[in-house]
Chains A and B, each alone.
Chain A
Amino acid sequence: MTMYQPNSEQDLADLLRDADAPLAVQGGATRGVNIAGAPLSTCALNGVRLYEPGALTLVAGAGTPLPEVEVLLAAENQRLAFEPSDLRGLLGTDGIPTLGGAIATNTSGPRRIQSGAARDFLLGVRFVDGMGQIIKNGGRVMKNVTGYDLVKLMAGSHGTLGVLSEVSLKVLPSPECSGTLIWENLDWQASLAIFSAALNSPYDVTGAARLPAFGERPAQTLIRVEGFEASVSYRLSELSGHLKTIAQSAEMTMDVVRNAQLWRSVRDVEPFVGKEGDLWRSSIKPGNMPAFVAALDGEHMIDWAGGLIWSLVPKGRDVRAALNGFGGHCTLLRGAHHLLRFQPEPAPLAALSAGLRKKFDPRGILNVGLMG
């Protein structure tokens, strides 16, 4: 099958205007989804157009490889604070993740609970809709309420409303240091209590997760803080004292390599790499986590202080049944299934979403059927 790879925004617009069949929009194709139609890659729409460290702003083509952005930012001691996951290991894909792909999927790692999701750092977009029209929204400044916020709508729209050509992002300084408290073998309830107490403290926690047991290693409940070195060590010891009533003897580490490895493991869901089973990602109210996982067999990794659950379950299991009126939603990431990848929305919201798709992609050619 031909693979389209437009070299400019105008090329992309021409291509979409003239298209007469469905297209499967992709960045680095690291998500491993099968979508009907000829692949349309944004990879050639790449390059950083503007980077102002003093203004915390970056503007780049949607196809810009994420690693390239990360290296550029690191040279100025800055980073993408939403900590985008790299799920290639988990999904068994290769290819290079792109900035546009991270935005289109609104992917956010452990720091989501403190600093926000990808959508919260997206300042502006340029995209081409399903009719081939070039549209911009937002801009490159940090505060902008001029007209409707289509920026948020495009983040997480998985290429179903338009093809992103350029994105502007707010970036943040990298902290001097990270530190983590580690408890072993805490159950769901105790882990939740740790998360809750840690986040309900003044110590600005930037990660709260639980890794399942893995080979020799027992399950680990983790709390992270970041900042200036003295401040990190102060907050870790305050937290550790503060949380003693829930669980004794936390290990404390400020080792650079260890911290990077621990949180990469959470971010990229490493414990489930190479394991059999269907893979689900559920966003729920943190307090419902223990009941939710109890209703399921399989293995679970917890992030976002209990609000995000990665579940590896036997093939064909409907994880959504465990929501049981809790609210929240479950997305199927890996597994052949009769169920939709995305959780079906309640009728009135589904109607609004369908209405929006009809406006932005009236001919129905962009990632057809992916989101519903």
Chain B
Amino acid sequence: MQMPTPDTHILDRKATIAARLRQVLPVDAVVTEPSETRAYECDALTAYRCPPLLVVLPETTKEVSAVLRICYEEGVPVVPRGAGTSLAGGALPTADCVILGVAKMNDVLETDYDNRFIRVQTGRTNLSVTGAVEEAGFFYAPDPSSQLACAIAGNIAMNSGGAHCLKYGVTTNNLMGVTMVMMDGEIVEIGGAHLDAAGLDLLGVICGSEGQLGVVTEATLRILHKPEGARPILIGFDSNEVAGACVSDIIKAGVLPVAIEFMDRPCIEACEAFAQAGYPMCEALLIVEVEGSEAEISHQLGLISEIAGRHNPVELREATDSDEAARIWLGRKSAFGAMGQINDYMCLDGTIPVSTLPEVLRKIGELSAQYGLKVANVFHAGDGNMHPLILFDANKPGDLELCEAMGADVLKLCVEVGGCLTGEHGVGVEKRDLMTAQYTSEDLEAQLNVKDVFDPKWLLNPAKVFPLEVTTPRRSRVLEQRT
């Protein structure tokens, strides 16, 4: 992975910069020892690592502001970091950067059930947001599988999704406001407890901007009352095509499940071996979950069974109690873990139009044969967000590169059929160079222009999202100004 050459001027000034930061932060909030900064050398895309210049761990928005002001004056790049679970290398440092971690900022600032929102510091983990409102019967809807670890900060930066977003939407649909610190230290408030923007939808463009427009320190999130209950049904098919057609028929019939998950044979086999969930051995499995009262659930599951029945399923298993429901979800939830047991894997997340599912799965099969790498597919089928897991051996020289080349081909395929490179994990460094497969230079220029407005010096997470050669003129401005 190519990263910009570290700025030697900054490397030389490390001690001075650290001293300035210590003046505005508690002593232990500035981490400079290489043995300690190493903990921040990568995120969940562990193939790429680089210890940062130093790490700061502020506790308040004011401290974040003071840090950014200093970095702005010094011309030091800043990489914001939540919990470091990005699968795209979004939080990957450069040797000349300051990692600004918000992990210590995890307070609940306000819970307001009457107006259905919670305001938190963004270092708070996704699951503990729901944890804070659960007793009152509420939940925060976006539920990435990493929700135990990942922070709201990263969720906002990546516009993260989850299994239940078919009904509840992704982060951007549940985010009402933010407190954000601009690169020059200015603190701005956008949105809040009311709906929609007064003017341009700045919140909409901040969500999903991968830490490149500002550091988000506080967030107002929409919370919802829990439904009375939820129950899944498991349906097995002997071909991917038929499973795809069944998904489409369920949606056309007007049932709107909260989740429709899809697994193919390699994935079913691995999950079964790992978790013994009792899955049938077949070509394709659907897990469909609906919500409501007992009667409503039975009614909807009845409709779904009837539709599935028309497609000759090899198995149809309706959960009758919470035990059975848990067993149905068990295999799916352990999919990543199961794959990790077998091999190293790379998880893609291209999205495709649901109607192209059979074609895309067939072509992924062909690519798998061509590259000699196994692939297992788990898939948010309701919204076309694929998760092909390409298996490789990190200890085998050349295997990672082979896997990456195959990954790139799969993602280009997603774009060709009318989809996109990433549905929820973000571009980061991983898919940076593929951006030109989806966007023209005018399309990219329009996005770069947005960054120019928010961060004219290009100091915030500058080496991400866009191909390096596209951003070079903008990134080198700071250097030129100095000389």
Known: A152-B201, A155-B204. A147 touches B447 (CB 8 A): yes
B residues at A contact (CB < 8 Å)? 112-116, 137, 158-159, 161, 165, 169-170, 172-173, 182, 186, 188-190, 192-205, 207-209, 225-228, 247-249, 251-256, 292-293, 295-296, 299-300, 351-355, 380, 382-385, 418-427, 431, 435, 438-440, 442-447, 449-454, 465-466
Q: Hey, which chain B residues are within 8 Å of A201, CB to CB?
A: 225
Q: Tell yes or no: A52 within 8 A of B by CB.
A: yes
Q: Tell yes or no: A47 within 8 A of B by CB.
A: no
Q: Hey, which chain B residues are within 8 Å of A329, CB to CB?
A: 194, 197-198
Q: Tell yes or no: A343 within 8 A of B by CB.
A: yes
Q: Tell yes or no: A234 within 8 A of B by CB.
A: yes
CA distance A345 to B447 in the complex (A): 23
Give the residue of B195, B253, B255, B355 whose beta carbon is less than 8 angstroms from that of A308: B195
Q: Tell yes or no: A283 within 8 A of B by CB.
A: yes
22 CB contacts below 8 A, A to B, read A54-B252, A119-B201, A135-B442, A141-B418, A141-B423, A143-B383, A143-B423, A145-B159, A147-B427, A149-B172, A150-B205, A153-B201, A156-B196, A157-B200, A204-B292, A230-B299, A283-B195, A287-B112, A327-B194, A345-B198, A346-B189, A352-B188
Q: Hey, which chain A residues are within 8 Å of B427, CB to CB?
A: 145-147
Give the residue of A117, A140, A155, A160 whose beta carbon is less than 8 angstroms from that of B418: A140
Q: Tell yes or no: A183 within 8 A of B by CB.
A: no
Q: Tell yes or no: A129 within 8 A of B by CB.
A: yes
What residue of chain A has the Cβ atom nearest to residue B189's Cβ?
A346
Q: Tell yes or no: A2 within 8 A of B by CB.
A: no
Give the residue of B114, B201, B225, B296 whose beta carbon is less than 8 angstroms from that of A286: B114
Min C-beta distance of A181 to chain B, whole Å: 17
Q: Hey, which chain A residues are within 8 Å of B188, CB to CB?
A: 346, 348-349, 352
* A-B interface pairs (CB < 8 A), number: 263
Min C-beta distance of A342 to chain B, whole Å: 6
A residues at B contact (CB < 8 Å)? 52-57, 76-77, 106, 108, 112-113, 116-117, 119-120, 129, 133-137, 139-153, 155-157, 160-161, 172-176, 196, 199-202, 204, 227-228, 230-231, 234-235, 283-287, 304, 307-308, 327-329, 331, 342-343, 345-346, 348-350, 352-353, 355-356, 358-360, 371-372
Give the residue of B112, B197, B384 whose beta carbon is less than 8 angstroms from that of A156: B197
Q: Hey, which chain A residues are within 8 Å of B295, CB to CB?
A: 230-231, 234
By the criterion CB–CB under 8 Å, are B465 and A147 in contact? yes
Most chain B beta-carbon contacts within 10 A, residue among A116, A129, A202, A329: A202
Min C-beta distance of A370 to chain B, whole Å: 10
Known: A342-B198, A349-B199. A149 touches B208 (CB 8 A): yes
By the criterion CB–CB under 8 Å, are B196 and A283 in contact? yes
By the criterion CB–CB under 8 Å, are A137 and B248 in contact? no
By the criterion CB–CB under 8 Å, are A149 and B226 in contact? no
By the criterion CB–CB under 8 Å, are A352 and B454 in contact? yes
Most chain A beta-carbon contacts within 10 A, residue among B195, B299, B466: B195
CA distance A331 to B198 in the complex (A): 8
CA distance A53 to B199 in the complex (A): 33
Q: Hey, which chain B residues are within 8 Å of A152, CB to CB?
A: 172, 201, 203-205, 207
Most chain B beta-carbon contacts within 10 A, residue among A230, A346, A349, A350: A349
Cβ-closest 7 pairs across A and B:
A152-B204, A54-B248, A329-B198, A143-B423, A173-B254, A355-B453, A285-B193
**What would 10 more interface pairs be, CB under 8 Å, given A141-B420, A143-B383, A283-B195?**
A55-B354, A143-B161, A147-B465, A149-B208, A150-B446, A153-B205, A202-B227, A231-B293, A285-B193, A307-B195
By the criterion CB–CB under 8 Å, are B252 and A139 in contact? no
By the criterion CB–CB under 8 Å, are A55 and B205 in contact? no
Give the residue of B197, B207, B227, B299 whose beta carbon is less than 8 angstroms from that of A149: B207
By the criterion CB–CB under 8 Å, are B195 and A359 in contact? no
CA distance A239 to B424 in the complex (A): 36
Q: Hey, which chain B residues are within 8 Å of A157, CB to CB?
A: 200-201
CA distance A152 to B197 in the complex (A): 11
